[in-house]
Structure 1
Amino acid sequence: MSETSKDALFSSLQHESFRKLLAAERAGTTVQIAALSRDFDGMVEANALVATDDEHDPEGSSTAFERAHVAAMLAQARDHLADVDRALGRLEEGDYGRCEGCGEPIPTQRLEVRPAARTCVRCAAG
């Protein structure tokens, strides 16, 4: 996308504002990943120290559930980080803020709430 089309979608002030918003989103997600990784590693380490059979241990099913829950949240956070990184790339390339589905501009309000959004609300719902 050319510089003029990027400027038509966002002013330089908005461009910088979205860059800062995405950078903050990235930093927060990185912190979340680190915390979830520590939690998951702690669970694995704690379970390695105790020779229990999850199937017959009354606490085993909840331990397995907690471990699976943290693993799912960790995977989701990593996916979100990848989405944020792609959004930062689109911002630098001048494609940020344009719906990948219909090509129309994504409303600024949506981007402020979901800075890594790739689609407008209509395309996201469909």
Structure 2
Amino acid sequence: MSFKRSCSLIMLDIDHFKRINDTYGHPTGDRVIRQLSDLCVHSSRKNDLVARLGGEEFAIVMPETKSSEAEKLAERIRRSVEETTILSDDGQPVKWTVSLGVTELVSESVSREIQVSAFVENLFNLPILHFIKQK
């Protein structure tokens, strides 16, 4: 299926997730995943699609959205993560961050599925990709 309108995609990845699991245990890692999922769902719009791609990776598909608007949402999510404290099973605060990538999908001849697939494969290699990362 081809489309002519803009559609933005935000990719999210929990930084050093394996270290969180190894240091604080898998139940704490599960809480981090649930918290990010909740932040994404509550920050996004009704028509946006929030999906967990696997492990610590998530995506938000934003139909009818320019990349500038998607970047604003990505920054809101990044800030929310920065401000959110998760406690380990023994009560230790867990510092966690996310890396986010934003791109706008626009094409009349290439299917959305192919564009998303190419984006995912090249997530950290795209020079035009705008990354928002914890400083």
**Structure 1 length as normaliser, TM-score?**
0.29
Highest relative contact order (Cα 8 Å, sep 6+), 1 or 2? 2
Q: Which has the higher helix share?
A: 1
